[in-house]
Structure 1
């Protein structure tokens, strides 16, 4: 069993929930929202929760397809996340189910922002987001032909933090993750307990002042995060680096190799990128394309 407990940073008194139990059979209400997109609602932990599911246009009833869960940032919402990630076109092209969950609101006395409960800067939250995502997976598996060995998670900022929380707490279900401008809170880092090597892609910018590359009081540095997963996956300690130079910036690609089960760890680091979702026309590469390129290589047992 892969049990990782690394030092660094103060821990919060508000620990993340333990691995969620098998979810009960909870009914949900789904309605057509857009072309091949449904909006679904169900009650979890006495709170009405919402997610959107995109069905690829070429999918037939007999197709067994993978699933990508993509989560918005702190204060964001699923609908804007749908628009700026544009995973819908990739889902249609490649053939996978796409889930956009909606984060719950903090209490008004804490500002009321939508969020994902990852400890650290959300440590006063009481929302069970691990259970919520677990139940979404259960609902999708009941209603669609889901390849349960190929369930992936990604997100921006707070959604990226949540991807790491899922990797640590639900590694028996999440095959691979990708984080864009996210990191690991001290809680996630210190309490992470995986049951297998989990492939990880991190996309970050050196000019990110919201989630700094060097970390802050509540978050680990990106270097610490990469080292953490390289150790968890028994990869080489030093990455192989490639670089793409542009006129006024560079994009660095760090590949941690020779991992157990070929569970790769990869960093894409832009010298000019801030707290944004990268596209070819603004950062020289597409985060969405790179995310699917990376995660789709893996199932729960390693590289396909």
Structure 2
């Protein structure tokens, strides 16, 4: 039986500028920043101390929902905090405890052993301390078997299995920022203990996950993976790659290991831009979050569970199985996506050809400006033949397609003509956003105007790409890049094609 989610009221500290205010631990203070929002400190969150391994004392936090009685096995969620954070901080900067109240599983939030920083690969090798003098860096050992925090997590899993009735096939890990790096490191080395992992805001360095020849660095094999990337995540200084490349390289890494179909199902819900990949060995979810800064959204734990973890299991033979999830991982049933300069479109999650490329067009004012001009609007114009196909309209044309007539399913008759800003709707002309264009033998009109004014659809514009749906959807920049790769016929690219993979720091060794 599903438990009830209750969001407790807290006192917002709008003047706060600390990364993790300590008063959040002992009061009902909450903070809100476009990257980190918090819930009120959960009353049932318990602090623990003890020696797990290496003779060193560690600290961790456990959340056991009120519904737990030990009568049946329950999943275990391991949440790894970001750099300079704590286990209790991760508990309030995520909604895992709320999901646990609903689903009945147990949460574990360990502290990094030293300086609130996880000992992960990919930081110390290229870190310039002069650019961040207040940021401590904990060097990882050369051999993952000697990594204390990695061993601590393994030991804590064993302890949780001793203390509670844990379903060993349903152990999951999630991390934010440096916690994402630690989660990825654990998944690559000890992923056989997990059914799935998720992370936000912390892509791994290419030299950590690939050899120079493009082969993968991995000891543990496939598992279900979720990658969240805030649109405004940003990059540390001095990198040879941009956000688009590092995002692709990390996505391609798990696509390769999980043997994913390179073409995903795409769904955009509000500011959440999903790409769902089906794999032969395990699945992958990519999420681009519109207008979000480095960090994680407060509902991400619910998304991880509802879309992926709720159906995932590691079987006794080591394989991953994916059953029904709380929310199905399906693409948008109705969606049309086009981009400037491309002669294809994404229609209901299928790439289709257009008879002419989409064209980005500017609406100008120049009267009275002494030869100057002002851009008053910018629109993406697409062939009317595509719009007819999308909305099931009857299409006819005259004068080599310079005049086009459409008959919509509801019986409305539309007529367009090259160079005219008017659309004749049932003998009642109305002005469009811009004039109709004639390109490569096709008549083009603004997709924004047609979708919004004629068809009453929602549309979103990002970097000269337009996404049209029947529900609220806000297209984000990383999803634009992913869809353009689909249009270019490159949904998966050989890692060797990226300089960040082939050109690695000299101290980095390739694996044999």
**Deviation by residue 1:259-295 (Cα, 9 ceiling, x = unmatched):** 114x21111102311112213xxxxxx2121112222
Taking only aligned residues, the RMSD between alpha carbons, in angstroms, comes to: 2.5
SS in 1 for 2:75: strand
Unaligned runs of 5+ in 2: 1-41, 126-138, 142-146, 211-215, 315-319, 324-512
2:209 aligned to which of 167, 173, 189: 189
SS in 1 for 2:292: coil
Contact residue 205 and residue 246 of structure 2 kept, 8 A = no
Q: Which residue of 2 aligns with 1:302?
A: 321
Deviation at 1:43, TM superposition (A): 4.5
- Choose 1 or 2 for highest CA Rg: 2
Q: Is structure 2 residue 169 aligned with structure 1 residue 149?
A: yes
**Deviation by residue 1:100-143 (Cα, 9 ceiling, x = unmatched):** 000122xxxxxxx4111221114624452211110000111111
> 1:59 and 1:200, CA in 2 relative to 1: closer, same or farther beyond 3 A?
same
Unaligned runs of 5+ in 1: 1-32, 106-112, 280-285
Deviation at 1:91, TM superposition (A): 0.5
> 1:122 and 1:159, CA in 2 relative to 1: closer, same or farther beyond 3 A?
farther
C-alpha distance in 2, partners of 1:211/1:296?
Answer: 34
> 1:89 and 1:202, CA in 2 relative to 1: closer, same or farther beyond 3 A?
same
TM-score, with structure 2 as normaliser: 0.46
> 1:187 and 1:116, CA in 2 relative to 1: closer, same or farther beyond 3 A?
farther
> 1:43 and 1:298, CA in 2 relative to 1: closer, same or farther beyond 3 A?
closer
The residue correspondences of 1:138-217 to structure 2 (distance < 5 A) are 138-186=158-206, 188-190=208-210, 192-210=217-235
Q: Which residue of 1 aligns with 2:94?
A: 85
> 1:237 and 1:53, CA in 2 relative to 1: closer, same or farther beyond 3 A?
same
The residue correspondences of 1:212-291 to structure 2 (distance < 5 A) are 221-244=246-269, 250-257=271-278, 259-261=279-281, 263-279=282-298, 286-291=299-304
Contact residue 41 and residue 49 of structure 1 kept, 8 A = yes
Deviation at 1:215, TM superposition (A): 8.1
Deviation at 1:163, TM superposition (A): 1.1
C-alpha distance in 2, partners of 1:44/1:265?
Answer: 33
TM-score, with structure 1 as normaliser: 0.75
> 1:83 and 1:269, CA in 2 relative to 1: closer, same or farther beyond 3 A?
same
Count of residue correspondences: 251
2:109 aligned to which of 71, 96, 100: 100
Deviation at 1:241, TM superposition (A): 2.2
Q: Which residue of 1 aligns with 2:75?
A: 66
Q: Which residue of 2 aligns with 1:26?
A: none
Q: Is structure 2 residue 49 aligned with structure 1 residue 35?
A: no
C-alpha distance in 1, partners of 2:265/2:84?
Answer: 36
C-alpha distance in 1, partners of 2:51/2:118?
Answer: 17
